[in-house]
Amino acid sequence: MPEQFRNDSNQYTTVAPMLSVRNGAQAVDFYIAAFGAQVLFRLDAPDGAVVARLALGSSQFWVADESPEHKNFSPESLGGSTARMVLVVDDPDAAFNKAIAAGASVVRPVTNEPYDWRVGRVLDPFGHHWEIGKPLS
């Protein structure tokens, strides 16, 4: 096993967020269009609920329909989100514009920040926030 996949307990360890949304099927389509996500796994339940594992470059995230009975709440249900996504790309301006074209809305345009990142922020149609940027040094 490659060294970078071992932590201090010598275990294979990965962590990825699972975003709760209303209408997971539409959300998966949006993340493909907005960010170029690749679908690694997708389960469609008879009631239309979706669980999907997506790849963005070397990273992964999950998308699933909310299930408040299991404490999985969409941003629409809570009126905000408790985790934002930090998306690092070579060209934040292009990625930002692609997300907006796909239906995200501007929270902050892409600018050079005093903490030495070029970064902007968008709100996706499902209530999740994405910081899109890259370190400048």
Which residues of this protein are in contact with a copy of itself, per CB under 8 A?
4-9, 11-20, 36, 38, 43, 55-59, 61-62, 68, 71-75, 77-91, 95, 107, 115, 123, 127-129, 131
* Nearest alpha carbon to residue 116 among 93, 91, 96, 134: 134
Alpha carbons 82 and 74: distance in angstroms, whole number:
10
Q: How far is the CB of 14 from a copy of itself (least distance, A)?
A: 5
Rounded-to-integer distance, Cα 3 and Cα 78, Å: 40
Least separation in angstroms between residue 126's CB and a copy of itself is 9
CA distance 106 to 99: 9
- Least separation in angstroms between residue 112's CB and a copy of itself is 17
Work out how close the CB of 86 gets to a copy of itself at its nearest, in angstroms, rounded to a whole number: 5
Contact by Cβ (8 Å): 43, 28:
no
